């Protein structure tokens, strides 16, 4: 239930803003939030999330129990470019990229344990 995206052409600082919004949420909630988000990184993260969900389906996991366990944004390669500046000099422009790693977790449904009812309950904390 993993998916990754390498060399996405946007700086990690900007992508982490979007990643922080959806981290820890259920898959359905995260997709709904990414649909209406006004950030450029919203669409690639949504596609990455749908890819991880498809991987989980192929493993036979129920989609309703999935949540985003980890969404890590790391620094990718930096392409160095030059911009002409005054008096024949040049300033460097760094075109940064990001690596995204998405890990989905499955919430375990709690099963109630059977406790036999007994008439002899002990009261704790009573003073006379």
Q: Which fold has domain 2-106?
A: Ribosomal Protein L22; Chain A (3.90.470)
Mean pLDDT of 23-50: 96
Whether residue 128 is predicted with pLDDT greater than 60 in this model: the reply is no
Residue 18 to residue 47: CA distance in whole angstroms? 13
Domain-wise residue ranges, the chain: 2-106
Mean pLDDT of the chain: 91
| Residue of 33, 46, 25, 32 whose CA lies nearest to 104 | 25
Tens digit of each residue's pLDDT (9 = 90 or more) over 71-123: 999 999 999 999 999 999 999 999 999 999 999 999 887 667 766 666 656 66
Q: Are strands 2-8 and 90-106 parallel, antiparallel or unpaired?
A: antiparallel
For residue 107, the model assigns a pLDDT of: 87
Is the pTM higher than 0.85? The answer reads: no
């Amino acid at each position: 239930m993993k998916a990754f995206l390498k060399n996405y052409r946007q700086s990690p600082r900007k992508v982490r803003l979007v990643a922080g919004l959806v981290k820890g949420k259920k898959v359905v909630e995260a997709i709904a939030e990414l649909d209406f988000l006004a950030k450029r990184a919203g669409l690639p993260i949504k596609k990455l999330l749908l890819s991880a969900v498809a991987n989980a389906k192929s493993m036979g996991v129920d989609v309703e129990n999935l949540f985003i366990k980890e969404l890590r944004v790391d620094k990718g390669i930096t392409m160095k470019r030059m911009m002409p500046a005054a008096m024949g000099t040049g300033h460097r422009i760094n075109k940064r990229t990001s690596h995204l790693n998405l890990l989905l977790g499955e919430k375990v449904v709690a099963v109630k344990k059977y406790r036999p009812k007994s008439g002899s309950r002990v009261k704790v904390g009573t003073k006379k």
